[in-house]
């Protein structure tokens, strides 16, 4: 699948999340042959669930799959994946992670690359604008979602 099309699915999910009053981060998992295996969005607010981020929600919605299903797959996500979602992508052997933007938050991209995962950042203004709007409206929910008291850009030590 074309990366712009894959990201568009993730953005659709992020917008659904925003409309539900949640954290507007969405994801879509696309198989090597282009099939949509799953899609989802952050459900922290909606379900009171701290582990359903965009990517983990997407993996949950994709359901139980044989490991071969993840081979050559691409995880499209509207925002740079946090440590938890980075780990989930590594665990299942996702081959590529395509990121909408990493200006709001920089997650585990370096670790993904170190582990042989291809990382592509599309610098999507649409993704960043959605996060800017959400963080301006509900800064405390964003901080809670990434496990901090005050806003940080990255959890990596510099
Ligand atoms: Zn995450």
Q: What is the pLDDT of residue 52?
A: 98
Q: How confident is residue 41, by pLDDT bands cut at 50, 70 and 90?
A: very high
Q: How far apart are CA 71 and CA 113, in angstroms?
A: 16
Integer Cα distance of 146 and 154 in angstroms: 10
- 24-33, 40-49, 72-81, 142-151: segment of lowest average pLDDT: 142-151
Q: Are the C-beta atoms of 111 and 86 separated by less than 8 Å?
A: yes
Return left, alpha or beta for 23; rule: phi > 0 is left, psi -120 to 50 is alpha, else beta: beta
The mean-pLDDT minimum among 23-27, 88-92, 115-119, 150-154 falls in: 150-154
102 alpha carbon to ligand 1 midpoint, in Å?
Answer: 13
Give backbone dihedrals phi and psi of 126, rounded to 5 degrees, phi first: -65, -45
Q: Give residues whose Cβ lies within 5 Å of ion ligand 1.
A: 53, 82, 84-85
Q: What pairs with residue 118 in β-bridges?
A: 96
d(CA 6, CA 75): 9
Its pTM surpasses 0.85: yes
Q: Which helix (H) or strand (E) holds 88?
A: helix 83-92
Counting residues of the chain whose pLDDT is more than 70, the rounded percentage is: 99
pLDDT at 83 over 90: yes
Residue 145 C-alpha to ligand 1 middle, in angstroms?
Answer: 8
- Backbone φ and ψ of 16, nearest 5°: -60, -45
Q: Which residues are catalytic?
A: 55
C-alpha 21 to ligand 1 mean position (Å): 18
Q: What residues have CB less than 8 Å from 85, skipping those under 6 apart?
A: 53, 54, 55, 56, 77, 107, 108
* Confidence (pLDDT) at 156: 85
pLDDT by residue (tens digit) across 113-147?
999 999 999 999 999 999 999 999 999 999 999 99
Q: Which residues pair with 29 in a beta bridge?
A: 38, 75
Indicate the length of the chain as a whole number: 158
- Please, what is the average pLDDT of the chain? 97
């Amino acid at each position: 699948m074309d990366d712009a099309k894959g990201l568009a699915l993730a953005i659709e999910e992020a917008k659904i999340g925003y409309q539900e009053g949640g954290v507007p981060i969405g994801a879509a998992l696309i198989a090597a042959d282009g099939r949509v295996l799953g899609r989802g969005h952050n459900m922290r607010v909606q379900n009171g669930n701290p582990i359903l981020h965009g990517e983990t929600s997407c993996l949950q919605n994709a359901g139980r799959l044989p490991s071969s299903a993840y081979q050559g797959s691409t995880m499209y996500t509207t925002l740079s994946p946090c440590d938890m979602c980075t780990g989930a992508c590594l665990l299942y052997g996702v081959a590529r992670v395509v990121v909408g933007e990493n200006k709001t938050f920089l997650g585990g991209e370096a670790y993904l690359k170190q582990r042989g995962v291809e990382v592509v950042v599309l610098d999507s203004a649409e993704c960043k604008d959605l996060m800017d709007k959400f963080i301006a409206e509900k800064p405390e929910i964003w901080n809670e979602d990434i496990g901090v008291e005050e806003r940080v850009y990255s959890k990596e030590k510099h």
